[in-house]
């Protein structure tokens, strides 16, 4: 039904429009539409404005470069089209209206002794029902219709404590047009502090209603100065599952802090690092679609014979710890796991123990996309609100994972901020590494840091500054640290098989030159042409969980291993020869001599090789080096401490570098005036002095020559210098005056 108001004398409405076309039509609220029109002169008559489904036009006015149209109230669960003067109807863009919605009401559940309240944000749902289970494993349930407020929050109140119950939601909504509403599926709350799930790729989940009290025993987050981080990147299971770790509870939160083992916490203490960065610990989709079988996801898995996700970069619940890592966690097919809720207290106990040993805990978090193959709650609550879509309504995938999160939405931003707050307040987490952070809008990133600093001013915030672009500069601008791939590529190159290897191999990668080396040593600072305002913003590294291990990069780079080669003797393969050790130590010395923070990946300290291990699953790559173990929860990924024994000299080299970096501030806080460079005719030779006067510390001298053809000489500053570390043997322990650095050699000296 369309209203046409009669004209009054002097009314500005024109006659019927001719050749009108709508350029854009934005729904600003449930009663306001802003339209840009071509071919229209003046204001249209009410009767020439039509909405499908029908709405009454209340008023029309000129605004900016378009028309502001007030209507009778729209339904929040409906999609409308507009036509003016009989032109082609145009779909209303709902983004402005959706972006206007915001609520500060508590979401998830509130539990007290006298009441339980539930809240979920589902702005376009037609109905939401709470499905209540008497306990986590019960098959019996009751359903309760929830009430919607004006901002899209559905609520329900019970005048009793429901401690011990479990729940989920049925979310009803429009069907067709690419919508994902499916009330047949019971989904857990996106704000779940803990879930129990079924071990299938659908990952059916329920939210546990518990108090989750915990005694922190006077431990607190660890305040590491933001330029002194020495981070050990680790997968929780990988550090304790191999038999050589000797762990009593392998692959678990409690097992990681088992003092009687060789892996986990004891290994971190042995190395001397001051922070551990865990690969994702939030509840994720462990199980993927069956290999080479049809599934109801529409995805045919041709690439993952294990049908597993081991790393965890497919987050299902942003507030819940992964239940597989609990002492009763398992992946028995078709069975329920996580029902006890132990994952909460056991992860907290792991953090408490790490803090008691002076180790900061950093979580790798994935807010740029969500789990792809399971019943992820955000997908079934409102696809159009939570995800970035193309013009056809299909999810964008700049993450490569199929469903980029629309982080700029106010309530998505709130979810991310609330999640960070949750891990800091409930788990005492010290910091976060944001996966593919460039996919997260900068306003959200800035607010995350601001809110996190209210809880802990020393919070660590690290960006992986790419994904949908590359912007380490932008993250430094807002006070974040970032993974420094420039020093990584400068040192080792981009790929070991191509002619794009780096400094360690005696060449310059891409546009690198001698001055690039100087810039890296100084902290990759903006004033030198680098990306960071401060050295505390750079996370210098050679290796991470992604791509080849540095050990394998060298094996391939020097021709010890060829692509597709099968390795028959794993122990012999793992043992580093003299040439490999020399390259490893040169790279490590450079890495730890550079200003800024350092990250090493688990196994880097012994030149770990990632060889595909034989299992019950047929994998044609068994026996070959793998650059991607995201799907391999087996010996391919596990840390083999017997291999560390084979390369003890490299382990000791890293331990000494870590001790020096922690002991002397000149390695972390030196200004330009504290670093003196001594140029050489050999551009691959690097000589510099770290002057410790400002810190009441001794001076240090670094000399390295990656040129594999020519030696280089330098003249040490006045005085006698003790060699602390070298990547070769047979040198004089005390040096002075002229010093010859032969091909591939590296030295660290301290002034006596």
Report, in angstroms and rounded to the nearest whole number, the Rg of the chain calculated over CA atoms: 30
- Mean pLDDT for 175-187 is 96
What pLDDT shows up at residue 18? 52
On the question of pLDDT at 6 being above 60, the answer is no
**Nearest-angstrom CA–CA distance, 480 and 539:** 11
Kindly report, residue by residue over 403-417, the tens digit of the pLDDT: 999 999 999 999 999
Question: Domains, the chain, ranges and CATH?
Answer: 21-99 (2.60.40.1130), 101-208 (2.60.40.10), 473-663 (3.20.20.80), 668-751 (2.60.40.1180)
Cα distance between residue 378 and residue 299, in whole Å: 19
Phi/psi at 715 (5° precision):
-115, 115
CB atoms within 10 A of CB 42: 11
What is the chain's mean pLDDT, rounded?
Answer: 96
Q: Is the pLDDT of residue 301 over 60?
A: yes
* Model pLDDT for residues 249-275, shown as the tens digit of each residue: 999 999 999 999 999 999 999 999 999
Using one digit for the tens of pLDDT, what is the confidence trace for 124-141? 999 999 999 999 999 999
The Cα-based distances of 341 to 257, 483, 577 in angstroms read 19, 34, 48
Q: Is the per-residue pLDDT at 742 higher than 90?
A: yes
Supply the pLDDT for residue 16: 47
Residue 22 has pLDDT above 70, yes or no: yes
How many whole angstroms separate alpha carbon 279 and alpha carbon 235?
5
**At CB < 8 A and 24+ separation, what contacts does 220-223 make?**
220/355, 220/428, 221/355, 221/360, 221/424, 221/428, 221/429, 221/430, 221/456, 221/458, 222/274, 222/275, 222/355, 222/358, 222/359, 222/360, 222/361, 222/430, 223/456, 223/458
CB atoms within 10 A of CB 33: 27
Q: pLDDT tens across 67-117, in order?
A: 999 999 999 999 999 999 999 999 999 999 999 999 999 999 999 999 999
DSSP 376: -
pLDDT value of residue 498: 82
Strand-pair category, 282-284 with 315-321: antiparallel
Mean pLDDT over residues 593-607, rounded?
A: 99
φ, ψ for residue 59 (rounded to 5)? -160, 160
For the residues 503-524, what does the mean pLDDT come to? Answer: 97
Residue 298: predicted pLDDT: 84
Q: What's the 3-state SS for 491-550? A: HHECCCCCCCECHHHCCCCCCCCHHHHHHHHHCCEHHHCCCECCHHHEEEECCCCCCCCH
Torsion sign, CA atoms 299, 305, 308, 311 = negative
Q: How far apart are CA 51 and CA 70, in angstroms?
A: 12
Band of pLDDT at residue 14, cut at 50, 70 and 90: very low
The pLDDT tens digits for 713-723 are 999 999 999 99
Task: Tell me the backbone φ, ψ of residue 61, rounded to 5 degrees.
Answer: -145, 155
Angle ∠(189,315,399) on CA atoms, nearest 5: 130
Sign of CA dihedral 151, 156, 162, 168: negative
- Phi and psi dihedrals of 681, rounded to 5? -65, -20
Amino acid 230: pLDDT: 99
Q: How far apart are CA 329 and CA 323, in angstroms?
A: 6
Spatial separation of the C-alpha atoms in residues 402 and 592, rounded to whole Å: 38
Asked whether the beta carbons of 275 and 430 are under 8 A apart, the reply is yes
Confidence bin at 9 (pLDDT 50/70/90)? very low
Q: CA-to-CA distance for 205 and 212, rounded, in angstroms? A: 19
**pLDDT tops 90 at residue 297:** no
> Cα(486)–Cα(494) distance, rounded to whole angstroms?
10
Helix 578-593 to helix 550-557 angle (10° resolution) is: 130
Give the residue with greater pLDDT, 14 vs 448: 448
Residue 442 structure tokens: 């900068």
Is the model's pLDDT at 15 over the cut of 90? no
Supply the pLDDT for residue 39: 87
Residue reference for tokens 């696809």? 383
HSE of 496, CA atoms in CB hemisphere, 13 A: 21
**How far apart (Å, rounded) are the C-alpha atoms in residues 396 and 145?**
33
Residue 605 has pLDDT above 60, yes or no: yes
The Cα 193–Cα 211 span in angstroms is 10
Q: Can you give the pTM of this predicted structure?
A: 0.95
* Residues 298-315, mean pLDDT to the nearest whole number: 96
Write the CA distances from 5 to 45, 544, 562, 685, integer angstroms.
8, 68, 80, 84
Cα–Cα dist 519/512, whole Å: 10
The total of other beta-carbon atoms located within 10 Å of residue 286's CB is 25
19 pLDDT band, cuts 50/70/90, is confident
Q: Of 270, 164, 154, 259, whose CA–CA distance to 211 is shortest?
A: 164
Instruction: Give the model's confidence band at 652: pLDDT under 50 very low, under 70 low, under 90 confident, else very high.
Output: very high
The residue with tokens 């005719």 is 681
Q: Per-residue pLDDT tens for 153-171?
A: 999 999 999 999 999 999 9
């Amino acid at each position: 039904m369309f209203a046409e108001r009669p004209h009054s004398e002097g009314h500005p409405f024109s006659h019927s429009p001719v050749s009108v076309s709508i350029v854009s039509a934005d729904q600003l609220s449930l009663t306001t539409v802003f339209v840009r029109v071509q071919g229209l002169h003046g204001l249209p008559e009410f009767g020439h404005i039509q909405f499908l489904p029908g709405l009454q036009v209340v008023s029309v006015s000129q605004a900016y470069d378009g028309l502001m149209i007030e209507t009778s109230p729209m339904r929040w669960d409906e999609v409308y089209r507009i036509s003016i003067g009989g032109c082609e109807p145009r779909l209303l863009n709902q983004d402005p209206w959706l972006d206007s919605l915001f609520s500060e009401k508590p979401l998830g559940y509130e539990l007290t002794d006298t009441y339980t309240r539930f809240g979920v944000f589902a702005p376009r749902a037609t109905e939401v029902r709470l499905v209540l289970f008497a306990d986590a494993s019960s098959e019996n349930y009751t359903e309760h219709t929830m009430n919607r407020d004006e901002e899209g929050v559905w609520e329900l109140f019970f005048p009793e404590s429901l401690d011990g119950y479990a729940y989920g939601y049925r979310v009803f909504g429009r069907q067709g047009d690419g919508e994902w509403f499916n009330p047949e599926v019971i989904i857990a709350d996106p704000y779940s502090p803990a879930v129990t799930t079924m071990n299938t790729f659908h990952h059916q989940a329920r939210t546990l209603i518990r108090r989750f009290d915990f005694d922190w025993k006077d431990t607190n987050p660890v305040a590491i100065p933001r330029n002194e981080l020495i981070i050990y990147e680790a997968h929780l299971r990988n550090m304790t599952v191999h038999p050589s770790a000797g762990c009593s509870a392998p692959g678990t939160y409690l097992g990681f802090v088992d003092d009687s083992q060789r892996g986990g916490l004891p290994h971190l203490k042995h190395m001397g690092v001051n922070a551990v960065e865990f690969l994702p610990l939030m509840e994720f989709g462990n199980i993927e679609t069956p290999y080479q079988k049809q599934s109801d996801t529409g995805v045919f898995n041709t690439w993952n014979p294990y049908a597993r996700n081991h790393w965890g970069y497919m987050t299902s619940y942003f507030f819940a710890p992964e239940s597989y890592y609990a002492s009763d966690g398992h992946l028995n097919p078709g069975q329920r796991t996580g029902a006890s809720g132990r994952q909460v207290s056991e992860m907290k106990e792991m953090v408490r123990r790490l803090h008691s040993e002076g180790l900061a805990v950093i979580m790798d978090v994935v807010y740029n996309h969500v789990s792809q193959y399971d019943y992820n709650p955000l997908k079934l609550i409102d696809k159009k609100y939570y995800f970035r879509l193309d013009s056809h309504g299909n999810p964008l995938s700049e993450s490569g994972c199929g469903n980029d999160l629309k982080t700029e939405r106010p309530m998505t931003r709130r979810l991310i901020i609330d999640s960070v707050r949750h891990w800091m307040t409930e788990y005492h987490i010290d910091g976060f590494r944001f996966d593919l952070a460039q996919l997260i809008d900068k306003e959200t990133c800035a607010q995350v840091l601001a809110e996190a600093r209210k809880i802990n001013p020393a919070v660590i915030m690290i960006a992986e500054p790419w994904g949908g672009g590359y912007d380490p500069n932008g993250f430094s601008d807002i006070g974040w640290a970032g993974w420094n791939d420039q020093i990584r590529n400068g040192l080792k190159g981009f790929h070991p098989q191509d002619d794009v290897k780096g400094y360690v191999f005696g060449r310059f990668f891409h546009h690198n030159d001698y001055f690039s080396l100087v810039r890296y040593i100084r902290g990759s600072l903006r004033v030198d042409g680098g990306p960071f305002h401060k050295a505390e913003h750079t996370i210098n590294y050679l290796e991470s969980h992604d791509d080849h291990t540095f050990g394998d990069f060298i094996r391939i780079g020097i021709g010890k291993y060829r692509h597709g080669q099968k390795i028959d003797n794993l122990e012999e393969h793992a043992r580093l020869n003299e040439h490999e050790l020399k390259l490893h130590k040169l790279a490590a010395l450079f890495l730890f001599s550079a200003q800024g923070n350092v990250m090493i990946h688990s196994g880097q300290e012994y030149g770990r090789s990632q060889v595909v291990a034989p299992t019950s699953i047929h994998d044609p790559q068994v026996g070959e080096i793998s650059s991607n173990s995201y799907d391999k929860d087996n010996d391919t990924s596990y840390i083999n401490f017997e291999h560390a024994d084979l390369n003890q000299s490299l382990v000791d080299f890293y331990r000494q570098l870590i001790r020096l970096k922690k002991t002397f501030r000149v390695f972390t806080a030196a200004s330009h005036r504290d670093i003196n460079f001594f140029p050489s005719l050999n551009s691959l030779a690097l000589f510099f002095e770290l002057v410790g006067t400002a810190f009441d510390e001794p001076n240090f001298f670094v000399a390295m020559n990656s040129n594999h053809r020519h030696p280089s000489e330098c003249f040490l500053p006045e005085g006698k210098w003790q060699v602390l570390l070298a990547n070769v043997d047979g040198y004089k322990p005390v040096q002075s005056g002229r010093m010859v650095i032969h091909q591939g050699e590296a030295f660290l000296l301290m002034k006596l």
